[in-house]
Amino acid sequence: MSKLRLKAETQDDLQVIAAAVQDAILRVGEINYDLRGRSLTLRMTRFQHESDKAARAQSGIRFDSVLGVRTRGIDRSDPEAMAVLLNVVFDETDKPAGVLSLIFAGGGELQADVECLDVILADVTGARETNKLPLHPE
């Protein structure tokens, strides 16, 4: 399977990226907000839902044109703590500006105020098979 590289500038584009990062695992310390560079970056291990095999790849997602970031329910005191990303949504507030919400398992949420929707997702490594499947209770 080839490495995934996606860009989102619209709500439809973001839905594709959100589906690709569902069930991604990351360390809380791998969430980086660059105030001066106005970007938010997350390094994660992405479950490859698009693959026929259970596999994960090291990936990065970058949100640009970020004006500010706030979190709720995410303890940043332990950079080694793990988090599972469930969804990424965008609520437009003053076109093209809005609020990006990254929703984590357990009720955590990270919100980023953005001037516009500008997101890049890229796999950094190839896939490696895993026997650990995401759990989705019914």
Summarised one tens digit per residue, pLDDT across range 82-134 is: 999 999 999 999 999 999 999 999 999 999 999 999 999 999 999 999 988 88
Within-domain flag for 135: no
The total of structural domains in the chain comes to: 1
Q: How far is CA 77 from CA 25, 50, 74, 109, in A?
A: 18, 34, 9, 16
**Six token digits for residue 123:** 């796999």
In this structure, how many other beta carbons lie within 10 angstroms of the beta carbon of residue 21? 23
Q: Are 107 and 66 in contact (CB under 8 A)?
A: no
Q: Is residue 79 part of a domain?
A: yes
Query: Looking at the predicted structure, is the pLDDT value of residue 2 above 80?
Result: no
Band (1; pLDDT cuts 50, 70, 90): low
133 against 45, higher pLDDT: 45
Closest CA to 121 of 14, 35, 1: 14
Of the candidates 65, 84, 64, 89, the residue with the CA atom closest to the CA atom of residue 74:
84
DSSP class of residue 135 equals P
Q: Give pLDDT tens digits for 54-75.
A: 999 999 999 999 999 999 999 8
Residue 116 is assigned to a structural domain of this protein: yes
Report the predicted TM-score, pTM, of the whole model to 2 decimal places.
0.93
Residue 42 falls within a domain, yes or no?
yes
Residue 41 lies in a domain: yes
